[in-house]
Structure 1
Amino acid sequence: MLTSNNDPRQYRHIVLNNGLEVVVIHDAHANKSAASMTIGAGHFYDPEDTQGLAHLLEHMLFLGNEHFPQANGFDALVSAHGGHVNAWTGTEFANFHFDLSNEAFELGLAQLAAMLMTPLFDAERLSKEIQAIDAEFKLKLKDDLRRLYQVHKETCNPAHPFSKFSVGNLETLAKDDIETLQNKLRAFHQRHYVASNMKLCLLTAQSLDTVSEWVHRLFAALPDSTFIRHTDWPPLYLPEQLGINIAIKPIVQARRLIISFALSEIESSYRSKPVALLSHIIGDEGPGSLLEHFKASNWATSLSAGGGIQGHNFKDFNLNLQLTEEGLQHVDDIIECVFAYLALLDKHIDEPWRYDEKVRLNQLALEFGEHGKAIDEVAHIAEQLFTVSAEHVLVADCLLDQPDIPLVRYFLSQMNPDNMRIKLIDPDANCDKHARWYNTPYRVSPLSDEQRQRFRHPRTVDTLCLPRKNPYLVERTTCIEQEPQHGSPHQLIDTSGMALWFAQDHDFGLPKGDCYVSFDNATTAASLSLTTAKKVWVALQMESLTQRYYQAAIAGLNFHLYAHQAGFSLHTSGFADKQLGFHQQLLNDLRQLNTTPLAFEQIKRRHLQALKNSLLNKPINRLFTRLSVLLQRNSYAPADLLPEVERLQLADIQQVHEQLFSASFIESFVHGDWSSHEANAFGQSLQQDWDGVATGQRVPRDVVDLRAQHRYVHEVDCQQDDAAAVVYYQPPGQSLKDVALTIIAEQLVTAPFFHHIRTEKQLGYLVGSGYMPFNQHPGLALYIQSPVADAWTLQMEIKQFVRECLQDPRQFVDIWPKVQESVYRQLLESDTTLSMKSQRLWMAIGNPQLSFERQNELAEAVRSLTFDDITRYCEHLLSDEQFGELVLYCRGNKQLASPIEGQSITDIRAFKSNARYML
């Protein structure tokens, strides 16, 4: 198998006698082991009379098998060993994946093999799981992405399996008796869950030989079969479904235009990537780009190119635009501009340097790319094995060794009006149909002869031009000499208004790095109006920087400007070569307010739309957003920000711009493949450039103190039907021991809480718990969103579960050592990427935790805990002794069965102004 020259891992490709194809990855530094099995059987293979069956099967496999009959036993196992397990059912594939500690990997694989081979399909559990599927379906009834997706399904070829209802609900899954449904599940399972239709990928610190032996022993019993997966689908679209307009009415205030071209399949061209080249050029955001033209015309504010559904023999190429109100009146003008750009591209696509540049970018991504999370990697590789040769499966995403300009031209030729579908998402759309299941209003009409003629022969747009050669391509790709004394962060600058920290990378051996510069400004942090103006200022500046330096990001010089409670930060990352100078250039650009009245109005309207749409988020999201607002001093609710944004004028942006660059505390961190000399030079430039600004103090990130106070209750308005509740516990202290106890407590309750509320009680699909610290202050949250119960019932169920679960901690005495060891090992995990380490160190600087050993210290605090500590923690939480408690809830469409006890927070500002705070 081809790999990157800089990849230290070992790989092995195995094909068992039964036909199962396996990739085993040995990573000596892996903190956890991960596994993923992909099955070539998604919802495309559902029987016509039981749509959603593949999705139901995915759920049922977790509910017991012959070897491990306990429902959700797999969840309990991986949770006890510091891992996660999940699954999904897509169009052509289903996937199961998990991670957990290296020591428990063999047991995890045994569970995976058993659940895939010998499911029980217990009648009682099946009946309950249909309810869970229905709750999942109802959860998405007001999700516009799902609603638009259903319109897509209804406007394609009804003979193509894409048109099927993938999720399932009571109507499709409960129309048969349980015995009949069991037989259908068994038949589907026996037909598709066979070795020749499955691909497995494993990543672990265990040796290749050891894991190979496990694979042969555990998965050899998968049934062999001569089964050949059907992929000869009919055309995705009939002729009358191309060359059409589709108007769709959303729930949220969104104005989008999706121009979609039906292309041939692209899976076989992964070594030439013709469509990726087209996406790269059409999606450009720099000078002369489509997006620049649309912004200048006040028609659109964003554009992405290349997305869209794809499968074995189909591919949609989408141009997705966020429109302005004026843009809604110029849809045909926008589409004509797109075809003018495509005509321009057709004239210049033969220029060899364009492909050469893309080849170079892909080579850099392949050689110096960083591995992602192990669980994500194995899931991706297990699916790739169905479409890519084993030789290339590890590098297929970046491999570009067979450039093919004629193939690019072939796909470009398919981008024509007769092969196009136009989707216009408009809140005022005039519709005459409603999509089934999600009740989405829409209308379909053919392109007029005038439209076809106009798009076939577009007028030239003089301002449009293709991207020029990228001036930011990296030159230095070798690492500098290491300086042993600079392997951990230390200060190069320490003055009253400025601090600069530096650490050289001694772990990853990549010519990359991260540079952070943060401005704390007390005046803008403490004012709602200035905080609002600051958010819009950040968006305006980021818009300007992106347009100017889009090619830098393409070349691996990434940048991100973001607002935080105390001010704002600029973060650059990627290749070290040229980065520090680039960061200085960005900072200098920020000193100028590079905007126009038109750009201001576009950003302002975008913010208003985002704030209004946030009020339509699902209840559980609304509650967690409000939790952050209530507990953090300088955080504000969308409902409070809305009127401020509406009142905002360009003069207010100028005022906050001047304020941000006066009396600020500037803190910076340089980490990566740089010498101390380079870091010192960067610091000296900062001092010279910002001498008159760096005169402020660090702004504290304090948190509301709920402890030993009342039980607080807060209602959040929500326009969705489901009720929801979050119960948040704030422990009595913030020492390492308090943090360790809270993390352990959350780990102990997470699996039983999910099983009790979701599986046994069937109260809802969104159920869970989480360790939720605010600025290192520990916290524990349990949550439920439910289509069947009211908010009073939900918070009572949480309270009752906590009471029954914690009043006898002895039930945890057997699992407690495993959880303790798992958490201990997780805390000792090394950073898997350079950027991850940079972010961890930067957060330590900001907190501040200047020993930079908090993870290790916390690990030791976990290891030193005794079961008596856990028992006392549970007793204190149950007695409310020194614990703070906050209940947040949404009513949905249900009246409260009874008032929720506690001191009600009705005025957020008054609550926060009267609250005590913890630093």
Structure 2
Amino acid sequence: MHNYISKFYKTFTMIALMAFLSCCQDATNNDITKSSNDINQYKHLTLSNGLKVVLVNYPETEKAAAVLTVGVGSFDDPKSRAGLAHYLEHMLFLGTEKYPKPDEYHEFMSKHGGHDNAFTASENTTYLFDINADQLEEGLDRFAQFFISPLFTEEYVERERNAVDSEYKMHMKNDGMRIYHGIKQIINPQHPMAAFSVGNLETLHNQNNSLRKEVKRFYDDKYDASKMYLAIVGPQNLEILQSYAENMFSGIQTKCPCTTIDGVFPEILTKDEIKKNINIKSLNDAKSLSMIFKIPNQVADYKDNPAKYVEYILGTSTPGSLYTKLKDKNYISGLSIGINNIGKTDALFEIEFTLTDQGFTHKSMIMQDTFDYIDWVKKHGVQKWLFEQQKKVEIRSFKFSERVQPLSLATNLSTLLREYPAKDLLTVYFLQPESQFPENKIKSLLDTFTPNNLVILNVDSEVDVNKKEKYFGTEYKIDDIDINLFTTLNSKRTTDWMLPKENIFLPENFDIVTSNEKEKLPILVSADNDIKIWKLNLERFNNPRTELILSLKTPLVSDSAEYFIMAGLFTLMINDNLTEYATILGDAGISIGNDTTRTGLTINISAYRDNIDRALSLSLMKFMKSDLSMERFASIKTILVDSLNNYKNAKSFQMAISEHDSLLIKGNFSNTELLTAINNVDYNKFVKYTSILRSSVVDVTALIEGNINEQNTQLIEQLIAKYIRINKQLNIPKIKNVSIPEKTMYWEVHPTDKDSNVLISYYPIDKSDYITKAKLMLLGNVISTPFFDELRTTQQVGYVVAARADSSYKQLGVQFIIQSPNYKQRDLLHRVDKFISDEYDQIKTLPERELEEHKSSIYDNLLDKPKDISSSLGQHWNILSKEDTDFDRNEKIAELVMKISKDELLEFYKEVLITNDKHLLIVNDTHDLIGIDKIESIRGLN
């Protein structure tokens, strides 16, 4: 399920943002509405230059973050300069008057445990970073200079132009980007959404050295303090955070009164674009049908949110719904709905169906059923009791919403502040007690869903096309909707539709249970040796939610590629069985997912303490008694085959990383092996396998964290014992790493992207003790920024450049990654080798103060406590899944990091990167490596 327009028009919001504040208007000082469980303190203000600010005192964190959103995006590109807003985003990172070195900002952030990034969206550009909290003031000072005194240094103009072009080329085979640019062909050509927005060498040409002047003029004209929205999040109190904002960001210029009105564009779909059918040819094997309607902009109604009700009623998976009827006919495997507010006046409402092979031949029936259901909803589905039920669900969800990381919180606040009143920033996505049933607005919105207001989007790898889009080569075809189809869609039929019924999963008890002991780490609480249950009461979060991961180990997964693929089919069918419960589970605050691992199957559940037993019972029942119909098997097998076939279209560096990780684990299967295996699996073989699989579980391990006590864990243990029978005749599967010989070896990947080369140069480490992990973390932290700055910023070898400490299960190593459109593997390898040699000398002269900063950065990151139940569970499961129970290892490694001397680091560097005879290369073309000593295929090691 893609919602192509949603994916690339929106940034972080599910509905677009409301532009109603004048650029010179002062924000009021109303309190920001927050959950009673939220321990953060909030403040919003407007600086003297008009810049709007939200401050968050975020207790109990080692991290701080800042995000600044500018109300300028790709829609503001001059017609003759597609991609200029994106190019400007790149240029701001390359030095300011106060901090002129182009790599200084990134180096400072990296050295202090931080990350920095930016993204250009349609109507805004967002700049962001996080950092160790004690360095927030210094980080903000560097950050603010982007918007006060950027240099736009002449020597970097051409270089960053190439960087944008490399980014553009990297996305050339990205199906999402290609399809989005196909959709642009149906948009009103006078609307900025119809334009190319990424930028490349052609649109960002530098004839007569004009580019620097134009990007600087664009910055001077558009980047105004009154169009900027800043969020700062940290453990500092609000007074200190306010002083940071005032002292560092008041120097940004303002140009009020405003000379332009933001968000006012031509109509996105005129009568010339409505009632059209557009076919878009995808690279991936995928079949989807979207029904797109132009509707009025919805953001002004965010408090009562009629669009949310319509999304819910059209997308519900309860019996008698549109989804259930179409799935029962085996027409669809998925349904998603997206609303995209664009500018001030327009929005697009998209209903997207993921089609089965059978559904592909019945698209007119799907659309006819959809209109029939919409007509029924107009008459019977607009119900106050259903709205009130949803309001109750959302009030509960808001009350018990978990904390998010500082950077995520800052990003949401900054992007929302541009469009919503500050007091509502945290409640935008939730109905509140004061929300009123918007019956008339719901009906008015439903009235826009007619064949006379329809655009049909068909996406398929074999669809009929006759044109090619200029920048991404997307093949497409646009026609009027066929008159016979139009007549069919306007005809009336009767189907037995139904509204959602009573929800048996809704929680009622939200009490917070206390633990007899103040648990800090998971403890083993089960008495059964065959069922090991670990529990951690997270009373400190004061949240009634509970999360569970259940591992069912069996050798009938990794013993052969055929077993592995059938286990994957089985988990997909269980998840498919659960889709009929998706709506009622979601309303009850429950999510369930089943996955296949190298050692068996896992069940992941997030719920409340009051209903996690019901969720687990449903999951285990589906594991033992899933509906394995031949029809659904055929559809899901097709989905999996398509997914395996689509692997060839992955980005080169992503494919290389995937292959690299797979090579280091024994028992992994290549994509080719899995494709061969799935073609040998028929329905009868699959059903027989699942029967055996259910009785081949040899070990059960569960980790439960959150609002949990001993009675809950006992009930969970009883449920597991009720459904799962342990087979003691089989051996417990073990994960083992590949032993890499003392030589240089290669593995070749075969992406369809022939316009760039990829290289991973990997140096494995034999040991995995804590001191080795500590040294590896420090080494990775020291070299990552210099490698990026030298090869990406200075040498411009490509857009994807990274050096990192790597861990694949228990195999440690150092990984250098490059994807380049301009250089061959041999040249890339020489550049990596030269960096390794030069960096050794650089570390020799590294001041002790800087080394201590690197060490402190790692120390703070390792000791930063999880902010929510999910993060805590993930951190501990990462340890437990590796057959380890040392849950406080981060603290131990952190202490070891602080004790590493420069001499010890240099000795480790030399041992791993200079004298190490073990060396693995992942490349996409081995011909270029002829002549390099000791190159031989790694094939067969697994």
Q: Over residues 852-910 of structure 1, what are the superposed CA-to-partner deviations in whole Å (9 max), with x where a residue is unaligned? A: 211111111111211111110111123334x632110113xx96264554342253xx2
Instruction: Work out whether residues 512 and 539 of structure 2, in 8 Å CA contact, stay in contact via their aligned partners in 1.
Output: no
Instruction: Give, in whole Å, the separation in 2 of the partners of 1:389 and 1:618.
Output: 40
Q: Does 2:158 correspond to 1:127? A: yes
Residue type matched to 2:486 in 1?
R
Q: How far off its partner does 1:453 sit?
A: 2.9
**Residue of 317, 331, 348 corresponding to 1:316:** 348
Residue type matched to 1:442 in 2?
Y
1:347 alignment counterpart: 379
Q: How far off its partner does 1:173 sit?
A: 0.9
Q: Does 2:640 correspond to 1:607? A: yes
Q: Does 2:797 correspond to 1:763? A: yes
1:377 alignment counterpart: 409
Q: Does 2:741 correspond to 1:729? A: no
Residue type matched to 1:201 in 2?
A
Instruction: Work out whether residues 593 and 657 of structure 1, in 8 Å CA contact, stay in contact via their aligned partners in 2.
Output: no
Q: Does 2:534 correspond to 1:504? A: no
Residue type matched to 1:620 in 2?
F
Instruction: Give, in whole Å, the separation in 2 of the partners of 1:104 and 1:255.
Output: 49
Instruction: Work out whether residues 816 and 832 of structure 2, in 8 Å CA contact, stay in contact via their aligned partners in 1.
Output: yes
Instruction: Give, in whole Å, the separation in 1 of the partners of 2:519 and 2:894.
Output: 25
Unaligned ranges ≥5, structure 1: 913-919
2:83 alignment counterpart: 52
**Residue of 667, 681, 687 corresponding to 2:721:** 687
Q: How far off its partner does 1:446 sit?
A: 1.2
Given the superposition, is the C-alpha separation of residues 266 and 142 from structure 1 closer, same or farther in structure 2, using an over 3 Å criterion?
same
Query: Please, which moves more after superposition, 774-783 or 186-195?
Result: 774-783
Q: How far off its partner does 1:22 sit?
A: 0.2
Residue type matched to 2:859 in 1?
Y
Q: How far off its partner does 1:231 sit?
A: 2.0
Instruction: Work out whether residues 283 and 305 of structure 1, in 8 Å CA contact, stay in contact via their aligned partners in 2.
Output: yes
Given the superposition, is the C-alpha separation of residues 694 and 266 from structure 1 closer, same or farther in structure 2, using an over 3 Å criterion?
farther
Instruction: Give, in whole Å, the separation in 1 of the partners of 2:557 and 2:227.
Output: 59
Instruction: Work out whether residues 862 and 891 of structure 2, in 8 Å CA contact, stay in contact via their aligned partners in 1.
Output: yes
Q: Over residues 675-729 of structure 1, what are the superposed CA-to-partner deviations in whole Å (9 max), with x where a residue is unaligned? A: 21221232234335434546655422221122x6222211112221111011122
1:212 alignment counterpart: 242
Q: Over residues 338-381 of structure 1, what are the superposed CA-to-partner deviations in whole Å (9 max), with x where a residue is unaligned? A: 11111121112331111111111211121111122221221121
Instruction: Work out whether residues 248 and 442 of structure 1, in 8 Å CA contact, stay in contact via their aligned partners in 2.
Output: yes
Instruction: Work out whether residues 63 and 132 of structure 2, in 8 Å CA contact, stay in contact via their aligned partners in 1.
Output: yes
Residue type matched to 2:135 in 1?
A
Residue type matched to 2:505 in 1?
Y
Q: Over residues 553-608 of structure 1, what are the superposed CA-to-partner deviations in whole Å (9 max), with x where a residue is unaligned? A: 33211111111000001111121112123202321231124210000000111000
Instruction: Give, in whole Å, the separation in 1 of the partners of 2:501 and 2:207.
Output: 61
Instruction: Work out whether residues 531 and 717 of structure 2, in 8 Å CA contact, stay in contact via their aligned partners in 1.
Output: no
Q: Does 2:115 correspond to 1:87? A: no
1:431 alignment counterpart: 465
Query: Please, which moves more after superposition, 297-306 or 697-706?
Result: 697-706
Instruction: Give, in whole Å, the separation in 2 of the partners of 1:402 and 1:780.
Output: 57
1:915 alignment counterpart: none
Q: Does 2:95 correspond to 1:64? A: yes
Instruction: Give, in whole Å, the separation in 2 of the partners of 1:144 and 1:486.
Output: 47
Instruction: Give, in whole Å, the separation in 2 of the partners of 1:286 and 1:862.
Output: 53
Instruction: Work out whether residues 290 and 352 of structure 2, in 8 Å CA contact, stay in contact via their aligned partners in 1.
Output: yes
Instruction: Give, in whole Å, the separation in 1 of the partners of 2:673 and 2:504.
Output: 44
Instruction: Give, in whole Å, the separation in 2 of the partners of 1:346 and 1:681.
Output: 44
Secondary structure of 1:534's partner?
Answer: helix
Q: How far off its partner does 1:800 sit?
A: 2.0
Residue type matched to 2:638 in 1?
R
Instruction: Give, in whole Å, the separation in 2 of the partners of 1:867 and 1:48.
Output: 54
Query: Please, which moves more after superposition, 539-548 or 451-460?
Result: 451-460
1:917 alignment counterpart: none
Instruction: Give, in whole Å, the separation in 1 of the partners of 2:687 and 2:745.
Output: 40
Instruction: Give, in whole Å, the separation in 1 of the partners of 2:305 and 2:56.
Output: 26
2:482 alignment counterpart: 448
Percent identity for Structure 1 against Structure 2: 23
Given the superposition, is the C-alpha separation of residues 849 and 593 from structure 1 closer, same or farther in structure 2, using an over 3 Å criterion?
same
Q: How far off its partner does 1:303 sit?
A: 1.1
Instruction: Work out whether residues 809 and 874 of structure 1, in 8 Å CA contact, stay in contact via their aligned partners in 2.
Output: no
Instruction: Give, in whole Å, the separation in 2 of the partners of 1:500 and 1:659.
Output: 25
2:290 alignment counterpart: 258
Query: Please, which moves more after superposition, 314-323 or 482-491?
Result: 482-491
Given the superposition, is the C-alpha separation of residues 221 and 807 from structure 1 closer, same or farther in structure 2, using an over 3 Å criterion?
closer
Instruction: Work out whether residues 712 and 905 of structure 1, in 8 Å CA contact, stay in contact via their aligned partners in 2.
Output: yes
**Residue of 649, 663, 687 corresponding to 2:682:** 649
1:165 alignment counterpart: 196
Instruction: Give, in whole Å, the separation in 2 of the partners of 1:905 and 1:312.
Output: 58
Secondary structure of 1:562's partner?
Answer: strand
Q: Does 2:888 correspond to 1:853? A: yes
**Residue of 214, 222, 226 corresponding to 1:184:** 214
Residue type matched to 2:161 in 1?
I
Residue type matched to 2:604 in 1?
H
Secondary structure of 1:68's partner?
Answer: coil
Q: How far off its partner does 1:296 sit?
A: 2.6
Q: Does 2:655 correspond to 1:622? A: yes
Q: How far off its partner does 1:89 sit?
A: 0.7
Given the superposition, is the C-alpha separation of residues 302 and 879 from structure 1 closer, same or farther in structure 2, using an over 3 Å criterion?
same
Instruction: Give, in whole Å, the separation in 1 of the partners of 2:728 and 2:660.
Output: 33
Instruction: Work out whether residues 272 and 404 of structure 1, in 8 Å CA contact, stay in contact via their aligned partners in 2.
Output: yes
Q: Does 2:903 correspond to 1:872? A: no
Q: Does 2:205 correspond to 1:174? A: yes
Instruction: Give, in whole Å, the separation in 2 of the partners of 1:57 and 1:808.
Output: 32
1:781 alignment counterpart: 815
Secondary structure of 1:70's partner?
Answer: coil
Task: Give the TM-score, by structure 1 length.
Answer: 0.95
Secondary structure of 2:808's partner?
Answer: coil
Instruction: Work out whether residues 67 and 230 of structure 2, in 8 Å CA contact, stay in contact via their aligned partners in 1.
Output: yes
Q: How far off its partner does 1:142 sit?
A: 1.6
Instruction: Give, in whole Å, the separation in 2 of the partners of 1:550 and 1:640.
Output: 37
Residue type matched to 2:425 in 1?
V
Instruction: Give, in whole Å, the separation in 2 of the partners of 1:5 and 1:644.
Output: 53
1:227-376 map, 5 Å: 227-228=257-258, 229-308=261-340, 310-376=342-408
Instruction: Work out whether residues 150 and 436 of structure 1, in 8 Å CA contact, stay in contact via their aligned partners in 2.
Output: no
Instruction: Give, in whole Å, the separation in 1 of the partners of 2:306 and 2:332.
Output: 27
Given the superposition, is the C-alpha separation of residues 263 and 661 from structure 1 closer, same or farther in structure 2, using an over 3 Å criterion?
same
The CA RMSD over aligned residues, in Å, is 1.9
Instruction: Work out whether residues 276 and 306 of structure 1, in 8 Å CA contact, stay in contact via their aligned partners in 2.
Output: no
Given the superposition, is the C-alpha separation of residues 331 and 899 from structure 1 closer, same or farther in structure 2, using an over 3 Å criterion?
farther
Instruction: Work out whether residues 76 and 123 of structure 2, in 8 Å CA contact, stay in contact via their aligned partners in 1.
Output: yes
Q: Does 2:865 correspond to 1:830? A: yes
**Residue of 725, 733, 754 corresponding to 1:699:** 733
Given the superposition, is the C-alpha separation of residues 821 and 485 from structure 1 closer, same or farther in structure 2, using an over 3 Å criterion?
closer
Q: How far off its partner does 1:841 sit?
A: 2.1
Residue type matched to 1:836 in 2?
S
Secondary structure of 1:240's partner?
Answer: coil
Q: How far off its partner does 1:536 sit?
A: 0.7
1:363-762 map, 5 Å: 363-400=395-432, 401-462=435-496, 464-484=497-517, 488-548=521-581, 550-663=583-696, 664-693=698-727, 696-706=730-740, 709-721=742-754, 722-762=756-796
**Residue of 36, 40, 57 corresponding to 2:71:** 40
Instruction: Work out whether residues 526 and 634 of structure 1, in 8 Å CA contact, stay in contact via their aligned partners in 2.
Output: yes
Secondary structure of 2:38's partner?
Answer: coil
Q: Does 2:186 correspond to 1:155? A: yes
Query: Please, which moves more after superposition, 519-528 or 599-608?
Result: 519-528
Q: Does 2:43 correspond to 1:25? A: no
Unaligned ranges ≥5, structure 2: 1-31
Secondary structure of 2:941's partner?
Answer: helix
Instruction: Give, in whole Å, the separation in 2 of the partners of 1:203 and 1:696.
Output: 52
Instruction: Work out whether residues 515 and 580 of structure 1, in 8 Å CA contact, stay in contact via their aligned partners in 2.
Output: no
Task: Give the TM-score, by structure 2 length.
Answer: 0.93
Instruction: Give, in whole Å, the separation in 1 of the partners of 2:792 and 2:518.
Output: 53
